Amino acid sequence: MKQISLIEQILTMSMIPDEESRETKSPGHMNNASKPEAAPSPARNYRWWLKIAVFSLFVLSGQSIATILGRLYYEKGGKSKWMETLVQIAGFPILIPYLFFSPKKSSSTTKAALDGRIDARLLALVYIVFGIIFAAVAMMFSVGLQYLPVSTFSLITASQLGFNALLAFFINSQKFTPLTINSVVLLTISSTLLVFQTDTNSTTTVSSGKCVAGFICTLIASAGCALVLNLTQLYFRKVHRRDPIYTIFELVIYESMVATFIVVVGLFASGEWKGLTEEMEEFSLGKVSYVMTLVWTAITWQVFAIGMGGLIFQVSSVFSNVIAVLGLPIVPVLAVVFLDDKMDGVKGIAMVLAIWGFLSYVYQQHLDDVASKAEDKNDKESDQIQNGRG
């Protein structure tokens, strides 16, 4: 008997049997394993590509700006890891108005919000689990961002695609091909290279021990983020609603709410909250800039989260990660311009390998798309022949 993951059992146990047959027809589940019954209209194609373009823009801009602002916080006098973690997840209130003004809101409350498929208590458990992982990942990223130059940090996060592909194989039945494996290997090597390098050009001097800690934390955070993305894809596969944007917003809001509660408790338990006033006073750019840096970091991370959720829903977790890796060269370039960061030979090689790995995956997607179109064409021709004989 085929084994399925524990997470999938949790999400599946309350599903209505007659709804399961519709699963592969959802808009977020049209991948290599399932095809639509009919080719979409040109207008639908246009709308789909427009959504992909908008969500991709959210991912690229949100990730780049948030990472630069996060490093700016540390460079100009910020010291609190808990505060930097908090701003990664606490921007969700800006999304709440959508829940109230959405035209679909009447069909998305408690059990009705789940279309009768998952019990509200079970959904709350899912949000809690996601929120806990989210909080842990955000803290790990904060440590990495504090101890590493922003270019090194961004290149290490490229390993997330490798972790994502591996986890997608077990959680979402993602197929491996030679090009996919090549992509995973190159991205892994590109991030591993950086641990053997001592960066002497960073504007912040840290010990070698802290650099290693930053590398390990960033690597673990990348793996944790990949896990969250794959579980999110599984969630979207099991929960179907008429308004997919509402589904994305609701998931981001509730998991962020749980994660924010955890981080706020950590902020007060650690005692770091006592030094925030002094930190704001000593921030080299001034009090207003201190507040605005934190506010805009929180907003841009939410933009990134919505973009990632949209790409996961429309395509897959791996595709969303590919778009995130596409933004890999953007952060180091912005760091050179705004933070006086330096790019040396090792980072350059790591960047080339990461981009090479990304292109390998994109080419595999192109081959899959060509094969899918050829198969659709053959199916249509077969149907026409059979109809002619009939």
Q: What is the pLDDT of residue 113?
A: 45
Q: Ranked by mean pLDDT, which of 62-71, 81-90, 151-160 comes out on top?
A: 81-90
- Give which of 61, 136, 124, 76 is closest to 323, Cα–Cα: 61
Written as one letter, the residue type at 184 is: V
Q: What is the pLDDT of residue 12?
A: 42
238 in Cβ contact with 15 (< 8 Å) = yes
State pLDDT tens for residues 9-54: 434 443 333 333 333 333 334 343 333 333 444 444 677 778 888 9
Written as one letter, the residue type at 318 is: V
Give 36 or 239, the one with higher predicted confidence: 239
- Report how far residue 8's alpha carbon sits from residue 165's, in angstroms, rounded to the nearest whole number: 18
- Report how far residue 273's alpha carbon sits from residue 267's, in angstroms, rounded to the nearest whole number: 6
Percent of the chain with pLDDT over 70: 70
Q: Quick check: helix, strand or coil at residue 88?
A: helix
Q: Ranked by mean pLDDT, which of 35-39, 145-149, 204-208, 364-368 comes out on top?
A: 145-149
Half-sphere exposure of 313 (CA within 13 A, CB side): 25
pLDDT band at 243 (very low <50, low <70, confident <90, very high): low
Give 70 or 150, the one with higher predicted confidence: 70
Average pLDDT over residues 101-114: 49
Domain range summary for the chain, segments of one domain joined by +? 46-105+114-197+207-378
Q: What is the pLDDT of residue 24?
A: 38
Which residues, 6 or more positions from 140, have their beta carbon under 8 angstroms from its beta carbon?
217, 218, 220, 221, 224
Would you give the DSSP letter of residue 274? G
pLDDT band at 280 (very low <50, low <70, confident <90, very high): very high
Question: Per DSSP, which regions of 162-213 are E strands?
Answer: none
- Report how far residue 33's alpha carbon sits from residue 154's, in angstroms, rounded to the nearest whole number: 32
Report CA torsion sign: 18, 21, 23, 26: negative
What rounded mean pLDDT belongs to the chain? 75
Q: What is the pLDDT of residue 30?
A: 39
Question: Is it the case that residue 214 has pLDDT exceeding 60?
Answer: yes
Give 355 or 295, the one with higher predicted confidence: 295
Angle, to 10 degrees, between the axis of helix 120-147 and the axis of helix 81-89? 130
Q: What is the pLDDT of residue 220?
A: 92
Q: What is the pLDDT of residue 296?
A: 94
Which residues, 6 or more positions from 50, have their beta carbon under 8 angstroms from its beta carbon?
none
- Give which of 170, 315, 242 is closest to 22, Cα–Cα: 242
State pLDDT tens for residues 307-351: 988 888 887 777 787 788 777 666 666 666 666 666 667 767 777
Length of the chain in terms of residues written? 390
Average pLDDT over residues 138-156: 82
Give 35 or 127, the one with higher predicted confidence: 127
328 in Cβ contact with 158 (< 8 Å) = yes
Q: What is the pLDDT of residue 293?
A: 93
pLDDT band at 194 (very low <50, low <70, confident <90, very high): low
Which residues, 6 or more positions from 123, have their beta carbon under 8 angstroms from its beta carbon?
114, 239
171 in Cβ contact with 12 (< 8 Å) = no
Report CA torsion sign: 232, 235, 237, 242: negative
Percent of the chain with pLDDT over 90: 18
Q: What is the pLDDT of residue 204?
A: 52
Question: b/e string for 238-276 if b means 16 or more Cβ within 10 A?
Answer: bbbbeebbbbbbbbbbbbbbbbbebbeebbeeeebeeeb
Whole-model pTM: value is 0.70
Q: What is the pLDDT of residue 191?
A: 63
pLDDT band at 369 (very low <50, low <70, confident <90, very high): low
The Cα-based distances of 241 to 112, 180, 372 in angstroms read 10, 32, 27
Q: What is the pLDDT of residue 380?
A: 75
- Report how far residue 338's alpha carbon sits from residue 294's, in angstroms, rounded to the nearest whole number: 17
